[in-house]
């Protein structure tokens, strides 16, 4: 039977979370908002509109949302040519594809940003499909991104595992009915990932690859 390995990208396969923290912080600063970096870090992984709403509240000037998102996109775009893959990222995807897993990415990134992330991973030969933010109405922690990834793979939830680095990933995977695996390379504590639904937690893709035989992806 077919089985799917669904992966978040930012902070899971590519070491970008702290770049997102810095560039979102700067976008807020330029717009006159003083948002602590630790608060931004906790919100990374949400779609842009949801991140802004979480950090500025529902009583914010919503007309400024698009401007903030565009500023972040422009600042972050300066790094597109040098985004660093996390240790073992490409090797893990190729190993899973070789073992018969259908590998699908589920990410809030789209367009040129997604292209830059895929270049960093350098494992397009192992990636069967990508569910991006452009494909769904609601981003993580809603289950839609993971559910769409499963549709692309043609695999039911009980035959899938979702790997991510944030509580939003774990909640999305849990709500979609898939087994969830967390990685610590996004900077969040193990306890937070486990509380949000992670069945197992690894340091990074290289650690998961080294211990693959005893993992939910065995």
One DSSP character per residue, 149-210 reads HHHHHT--GGGEEEEESSHHHHHHHHHHT-EEEEEGGGS--HHHHHHTT-SEEESSHHHHHH
Mean pLDDT of the chain: 96
Q: SS3 for 11?
A: coil
The reported pTM is 0.95
| Residue 214: partners with Cβ closer than 8 Å, 6 or more residues away | none
Average confidence (pLDDT) over 80-96: 98
CA angle 217, 167, 144 (to 5 degrees): 75
Distance separating alpha carbons of residues 74 and 179, to the nearest angstrom: 35
What confidence tier does 110 reach under pLDDT thresholds 50, 70, 90? confident
> 35, 25 in Cβ contact below 8 A?
yes
User: pLDDT of 122-168, one tens digit each?
Assistant: 999 999 999 987 787 778 999 999 999 999 999 999 999 999 999 99
Q: Using CB atoms within 10 Å of the CB of residue 135, give its burial: 0 to 12 exposed, 13 to 18 middle, 19+ buried.
A: middle
What percent of the chain is predicted at pLDDT more than 70? 100
Distance separating alpha carbons of residues 75 and 2, to the nearest angstrom: 40
Give the lowest-confidence range in 42-51, 131-140, 201-210. Answer: 131-140
* Six-digit token string for 209: 């690859």
| Nearest partner of 139 among 26, 53, 37, 72, judged by Cα | 53
| Residue 192: partners with Cβ closer than 8 Å, 6 or more residues away | 167
Average confidence (pLDDT) over 19-24: 98
Average confidence (pLDDT) over 38-45: 97
């Amino acid at each position: 039977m077919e089985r799917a390995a669904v992966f978040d990208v930012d902070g899971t396969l590519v070491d970008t979370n702290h770049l997102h923290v810095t560039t979102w912080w700067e976008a807020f600063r330029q717009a006159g908002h003083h948002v602590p970096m630790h608060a931004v870090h906790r919100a990374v992984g949400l779609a842009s509109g949801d991140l802004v709403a979480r950090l500025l509240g529902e009583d914010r000037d919503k007309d400024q949302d698009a401007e903030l998102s565009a500023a972040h996109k422009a600042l972050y775009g300066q790094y597109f040519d040098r985004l660093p893959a996390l240790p073992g990222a490409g090797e893990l995807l190729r190993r899973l594809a070789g073992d018969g897993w259908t590998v699908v990415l589920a990410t809030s990134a789209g367009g040129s940003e997604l292209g830059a992330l895929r270049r960093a991973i350098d494992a397009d030969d192992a990636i069967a499909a990508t569910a991006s933010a452009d494909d769904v109405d609601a981003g993580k922690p809603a289950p839609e991104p993971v559910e769409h990834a499963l549709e692309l793979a043609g695999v039911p939830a009980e035959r899938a595992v979702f790997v991510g680095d944030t509580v939003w990933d774990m909640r999305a995977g849990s709500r979609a009915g898939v087994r969830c695996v967390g990685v610590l390379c996004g900077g969040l504590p193990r306890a937070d990932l486990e509380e949000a639904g992670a069945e197992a937690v690894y340091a990074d893709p290289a650690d998961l690859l080294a211990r693959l035989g005893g993992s939910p992806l065995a």
